[in-house]
Amino acid sequence: MQTLQTEQELSTILAEGKTVLLFSADWCPDCRLIEPFMPEIEEEFSEFKFIYVDRDQFIDICISYDIFGIPSFLAFENGEEIGRFVSKNKKTKTEIQQFLNELQ
């Protein structure tokens, strides 16, 4: 999974194709729970680019997209938002797969 490095690169990343932003943070225990199966999800949904967005490093991006709980997922296609799985609740592998399946 690619990690967002700068706020400026976000518009370039989102401009083309299908992208899923994963908002997370190192200190978040629910975020750690999804780490073991995220590579499988990335492989299963290979039509998407998955981008890790550190909530603490990019708080302004979180605010602009109304991301107040983590882990959260925001999906885009060619720069347009196509779906969001945003809440403060922990996420299961099945819930994430269901969210991504609904985007197709």
What are the residue numbers of the active site? 28, 31
The CA distance from 25 to 13, in Å, is 20
The CA distance from 29 to 40, in Å, is 20
The CA distance from 98 to 100, in Å, is 5
